[in-house]
Structure 1
Amino acid sequence: MVAHRGASYQAPESSRAAIELAIASGIDYIELDVQRTVDNKLIIFHDDNLKRLTNAEQVFPERKNYQLHNFTLAELKKLDYGSWFNEKYPERASKNYRNLEIMTLAEVVSLIKNAPAKVGLALELKNPYLYKNIEAELVEVLEQNQLQEEKDKKARVIFLSFSPLSLERLSELRPQSPRLLLTKSNFASRKRWHGWLDITAEVADGIAPKGHVSFPWYIGAAHKRGLFVLPYVINRSWQWQFLSWFSADGYITDRPGLLSKIYHRAQELEEKAAELKEDVFQD
């Protein structure tokens, strides 16, 4: 299971607070978007523009362009990255969300390596066409911070991208980490779906479609080709139920805490049913 931008339903997306809540939920991976500052630092941020998620216009009123890649890391660290969440979702607000900082990739790696629960990273290269050689820089940061794959153990890192070319580069730079091709379309004919699978089979190990595209015959076609399927963004219990019937391999969700509770509860019910069955058939 993958937490989309951390526990982004409960806390400001991709922030330290959202990541820590996701870790506490027992999730397998935390999905985060990687971009690069003008002074060549890899940071975690989803949008290519700073306006929606920060107070950049107030801190830098003289700037005419608020595209993230035009700012230095020091400038980004001056921004309030959490108060927008309190304003938009007052019922989930917290004083601890005010003045959160945008995190670097290295800071995130350090956070998850020192976490009490073992969790992996699902790293999406956001707009890789804007950042020449960002794939190599991403792999270098992971290696420098010793986030490495271990033989016969669950992958520590999954790479995600809408760009087949970017995934192809990552397959050459770090072939031991799985890769996942993201798709944007709200609809896919069978012909189009098989076209996506053709591309995926060349550059990745799995595909991540929008949830309502994840029909059982599509998932089955992917499995026949040895590809795993992780639909996104799945936030309702009925959606998890349907997709589990359709044999999805996991989910990308904004609500890892709720997902964890549902699955732990399901496991408890299965265990109780098994105990009851044993009691019934005892002499």
Structure 2
Amino acid sequence: MKTNSRILQNVIFASAISLGMVGCTDDVRTDGFTNSDLPEIHELSQAQKDVIAYTPKNAIIAHRGTEFWAPEESEAAMRWARNIGADYIECDLQRTKDGVTLALHDESLSRTTNIEVIYPNRWQDYVSAFTFEELLKLDIGSWFNEANPEQARASFVGLDVLTLEDVIAIAEGKRIKRDDNGKRIIIRDSEGKYIGTEYEPDPSDNGNRPGVYIETKAPYMFAGMEETLRTILEKTGWYAENIDDLKVIPTEPGKVGIANTPARVILQTFDLSALKNFDRVFTRKIPTLYLTMDLINSSPITYAERLNYAIDNGATAIGPNIAVGNYPASILPWQAAMARRSGLDVHAWTFNTNQEYLAYTGPWCDPEKKGGADKNSVDMTFTNHADVAIEYYRTTLEEYAAKGQVYFKSNESVRKACPGKYPDYDNLQKNKPFMTAQEVLDHLGYYK
């Protein structure tokens, strides 16, 4: 999902310039329709409205932890995202032959592991053809160093594949417990089968408690993935039929605390059947994103049809992509306006520069410099550079606000729905302490 950071770096500036045009001056309709075309948008259920009310706005989602600063979906990437101050850490789901749910993007292993060295006769096999302990023999860090020499760190070598439970533990301030050789300490049943991993308090934890943003990848390959996901979330205390029964996760004032709110988990999928399955399996409605990336040529009618499908099948947010690289935007100004009219939140992907944020959060779409949250097309953003995103909200948008040009989405409904759970300001990034990406990695013990 959501393009690789390495590709983005080659197109960043040119894309940013065109983004400004998409976000602002491309508001003239050229598709044969007029701005008075207002197709019917279905009504959100009360349960959807209640969830949207407690889902935070202006939040930052660390895409795969990071693709830029550490190997994606590795322990290093997830710990980095937590400590840098991301509001959510994002992961994708795959499943092994023996039923372990992995945090891994690809169905195959050739892009992000050394499988051709370890299993030369099986390198084309899907993840689902391997047991978890077979996969633990793979190195998911060395490829990153080879592909990104400027970000390479010797301590990335030998990183192992993560499970969903690992990601949740990291969000709670823990790390994987390892032996003297750096191998994870495994919990087995009486027959020697893997049933879990031991965790320990992370000595480098800085108190942030982000939520977890989960995508089911290729759900058609894994029957019952949604039921498995619910089981894991219930076991870890991150989902319960009654909100009051959710696990209490201690938080600290001034630190990210979304892990201790009802919005601690957000589900996402591109797959239409998976969206229905989320709605069926999670009988207490939780935040749910329907991802899109094929709507650039849509008309108001076809865009409304997609929004209505999302609404009718339990989504609380729509997930369009911005224009980056070979991906044309599916969040043009009229599309963003229609999404706002539907009442769905907008969680767009994938932002990596100030210019990209400027194009969609308001400043470049406000030629009269009056400000207004209606100029802001997004409620949350996915990013490979949570460090850049946090600093943008902390400084750039704050500077506009100081001049009376306020573009923040309001978190008033969030505070009312969850009293005492969220900060009392709309800019969730405002008071986060600043550390560079490299400083965080050094602090976590990932040295060059």
- Give the corresponding residue for 2:277: 169
Partner AA of 1:105 in structure 2: L
- Give the corresponding residue for 1:209: 320
- 1:135-189 CA-partner distances (Å, limit 9, x unpaired): 0001100110111364694501000001122122112222332110111326232
- Give the corresponding residue for 2:143: 84
Q: Does 1:255 align with 2:385?
A: yes
How many pairs does the alignment contain? 274
Distance 1:225 1:186, change over 3 A: closer
- Give the corresponding residue for 1:136: 227
- Give the corresponding residue for 2:101: 42
Deviation at 1:39, TM superposition (A): 0.5
Deviation at 1:111, TM superposition (A): 1.4
Percent of aligned positions that are identical: 31
- Give the corresponding residue for 1:156: 264
- Distance in 2, Cα, partners of 1:36 & 1:129: 12
Q: Does 1:122 align with 2:233?
A: no
Deviation at 1:121, TM superposition (A): 0.8
How large is the RMSD of aligned CA atoms in angstroms? 2.0
Please give the TM-score of this superposition, normalised by the length of structure 2: 0.58
Partner AA of 2:267 in structure 1: F
Q: Does 1:184 align with 2:296?
A: no
Please give the TM-score of this superposition, normalised by the length of structure 1: 0.91
- 1:26-69 CA-partner distances (Å, limit 9, x unpaired): 11111110110011110111011100000011001132632111
- 1:184-203 CA-partner distances (Å, limit 9, x unpaired): 32623223322211211112
Q: Which runs of 5+ in 1 are unaligned?
A: 275-283
Contact 2:109 2:124 in 1 (8 A): no
Contact 2:270 2:291 in 1 (8 A): yes
- Distance in 2, Cα, partners of 1:187 & 1:120: 30
Contact 1:38 1:71 in 2 (8 A): yes
Contact 1:56 1:66 in 2 (8 A): no
Is the partner of 2:213 in helix, strand or coil? strand
- Give the corresponding residue for 2:114: 55
- Distance in 2, Cα, partners of 1:20 & 1:192: 41
Contact 1:123 1:158 in 2 (8 A): yes
Deviation at 1:268, TM superposition (A): 5.3
- Distance in 2, Cα, partners of 1:35 & 1:217: 35
- Distance in 1, Cα, partners of 2:70 & 2:358: 25
- Distance in 2, Cα, partners of 1:93 & 1:192: 45
- Give the corresponding residue for 1:281: none
Where in structure 2 are the equivalents of 1:17-28 lying within 5 Å?
Answer: 17-28=76-87
Contact 1:128 1:166 in 2 (8 A): yes
Q: Does 1:231 align with 2:348?
A: yes
- Give the corresponding residue for 1:221: 338
Alignment partner for residue 16 of structure 1, among 72, 75, 81?
A: 75
Contact 1:119 1:156 in 2 (8 A): yes
Alignment partner for residue 113 of structure 1, among 172, 181, 203?
A: 172
Partner AA of 1:216 in structure 2: P
Q: Which runs of 5+ in 2 are unaligned?
A: 1-59, 174-204, 245-259, 323-328, 363-374, 405-448
Q: Structure 1 residues 256-265 or 242-251, which shifts more?
A: 242-251
Q: Over alpha carbons, which structure has the higher Rg?
A: 2
Greater relative CO, 1 or 2 (CA 8 Å, sep 6+): 2
Contact 1:7 1:257 in 2 (8 A): no
Distance 1:237 1:267, change over 3 A: closer
Q: Does 1:29 align with 2:88?
A: yes
